[in-house]
Amino acid sequence: MERWAIYRIHYGTDFLKQSIDSVKDSVDRVFVYYSVHPWVVAPQVTYMNKIIDMPGLHEDVQSFMYKHYRAKQKVRYHKYECNTPANQFSNLYRMSVEKVGHAPRMVIFMEPDMVYHKCVPKALFEELEQRTDIPCLGTRQVELWKEHYWRIPQRDRIGPMAWHIERAPEFNTHFGTWHPNAQFASEQFHNYNFGFCLNERTMLYKHLTAIQFSAAIGDSIPSEEWYEEKWLNWTPLTEDLEISANYKHTIPKAVPYEMDPVVIEQMRKSAP
pLDDT tens by residue, 108-161: 999 999 999 999 999 999 999 999 999 999 999 999 999 999 999 999 899 999
pLDDT at 189: 98
User: d(Cα 168, Cα 162) in Å, to the nearest integer?
Assistant: 11
Domains with residue ranges and CATH for the chain:
3-270 (3.90.550)
Q: What DSSP line would sit under 76-129, residue for residue?
A: EEEE---S--TTHHHHHHHHHHHHHSS--SEEEEE-TTEE--TTHHHHHHHHHH
Inter-residue contact 239 to 249 (CB < 8 Å): no
Question: Which range has the worst mean pLDDT, 72-76, 148-152, 262-266?
Answer: 72-76
Residue 271 has pLDDT above 80, yes or no: yes
Which among 25, 250, 23, 34 has a CA at the least distance from the CA of 143?
250
**CA distances (Å), 56 to each of 41, 77, 121, 206, in order?**
10, 21, 34, 11
Inter-residue contact 222 to 211 (CB < 8 Å): yes
Which uninterrupted H or E stretch holds 68? Answer: helix 61-69
pLDDT at 215: 76
Which among 222, 238, 221, 228 has a CA at the least distance from the CA of 200?
228
Residue type, 76: R
pLDDT at 168: 93
Whole-prediction pTM value?
A: 0.96
pLDDT tens by residue, 157-174: 999 999 999 999 989 998
pLDDT tens by residue, 183-240: 999 999 999 999 999 999 999 999 999 999 887 777 788 999 999 999 999 999 999 9
pLDDT at 115: 98
Q: Which phi-psi region, left, alpha or beta, contains residue 48 (left: φ > 0; alpha: ψ -120 to 50)?
A: left
Residue type, 6: I
pLDDT at 98: 97
pLDDT at 217: 75
Residue type, 57: L
pLDDT tens by residue, 32-62: 999 999 998 888 998 998 999 999 999 999 9
